[in-house]
Amino acid sequence: MKRFYILSIILLVILSLGFVTTDTEEATNAPKEWAIALHGGAGNYPVDASEERTKQYEEALAEALSIGSKILEEGGSALDAVEQTINYLENNELFNAGRGAVFTSEGKNELDAAIMDGSQMNAGAITGVTTVKNPISLARKVMEESTHVFFAAEGAEEFADQTTVERVDPEYFKVERRYEAWKRRNAGEGMLLEGSEDNSWKFGTVGCVALDKDGNLVAGTSTGGMTNKKFGRVGDVPIIGSGTYADDLVAVSATGWGEKIMLNVSAHTLASYMRFKEATLDESMDYLVNDVLNPKEAGFIAVDKDGNISMETNTGSMFRASADSDGNEVVAIYADE
């Protein structure tokens, strides 16, 4: 009889442990209330970068993340979280967007941005603006206050005149470090070989994707584009479906070599793979980054309707950060972190 009691107790303990494990697994896989991911550009951040510089980037990424996370945690919209997170990155001259944007071949700063609200299947985009302090905010106004989706150059400036977005003198965007990089790039252009390891002039950009407590998915991206870009060059960022895309399943933002991202309609390719193959977010990201694009071309961040997050690059690094309602937080730079 005593042996029967002992066996029963052991059995009960084993069963209850089983339940605990199952509950924990369910909790881990359960949809998140909210989730957010951001990037500050893919590229080849040097492995021997100074600790001070790396700390500057990590602190900026953490600060940007806290802005968006707070909005979502307090029940704010994914649109506000994406816009305000990107505003911070645009205002921070460490990143290639807003102040600190790279220079065109003519020595100017011409900015592109796009935002897409997946729940409304609506978007706003602008390209080639030179006086709008926060291009992502103008893109949002295109989406919410115009009957169109995409305004270019003088037309985008004219639309901005009809809104309350903050305007600045074009000199505001010029940062010495970028200007020196542009001069170096110009001086060495003829010497760069196809397949050269030095791809740094092609990269940069900031972006953010978010899921809010109401289940809305939003993607936004903002950039100065590519160093030395020629007159009127438009990159992937403002082209809906290339650098920026959101629907009711997933939100995606790209960074990297715009021409390659565009040619593969990259953000929409991820979303379509997920929808039509009924694939997970990680499987879809893996397909895009490793099968569709070639090595050293691009990185992406994405969040799905259950709050799963994926951030991958096939370059050496991507400044990135993410957080969700389960308390998971990531700040990372190198691809293999």
**Site residues for ligand GLY per CB under 6 A:** 205, 223, 225-226, 235-237, 243, 255-256, 258
* CB of 11 closer than 8 Å to CB of 299: no
Cα distance between residue 65 and residue 240, in whole Å? 24
Two tokens, residue 104: 């065109």
CB of 260 to ligand GLY, least distance (A): 9
The backbone torsions φ and ψ at residue 171, rounded to the nearest 5 degrees and listed phi first, read -60, -25
CB of 221 to ligand GLY, least distance (A): 8
Q: What is the 3-class SS of 35-91, one letter each residue?
A: EEEEEEEEECCCCCCCHHHHHHHHHHHHHHHHHHHHHHHCCCCHHHHHHHHHHHHHH
Respond yes or no: is residue 205 known to be catalytic: yes
The backbone torsions φ and ψ at residue 43, rounded to the nearest 5 degrees and listed phi first, read 170, -145
Q: Which is nearer to ligand GLY, 259 or 283 (CB)?
A: 259
CB of 243 to ligand GLY, least distance (A): 6
CB of 306 to ligand GLY, least distance (A): 28
Two tokens, residue 222: 């903002």
Strands 298-304 and 250-256: antiparallel
The angle formed by the CA atoms of residues 209, 213 and 217, to the nearest 5 degrees, is 30
Q: Which member of 127, 130, 205, 227 is catalytic? A: 205
Question: Amino acid identity, residue 94?
Answer: L
Contacts of 127 (CB under 8 A, 6+ apart): 110, 112, 150, 151, 152, 153, 156, 234, 238
Q: How many Cα atoms are found within 13 Å in the side-chain-facing hemisphere of 287?
A: 18
- The rounded radius of gyration (Å) of the Cα atoms in the chain is 22
Q: Pick from 207, 218, 193, 337: which is nearest to 261 by CA?
A: 207
Cα distance between residue 199 and residue 226, in whole Å? 10
Cα distance between residue 140 and residue 244, in whole Å? 13
DSSP assignment letter at 191: G
Cα distance between residue 183 and residue 176, in whole Å? 11
Residues known to be catalytic = 205
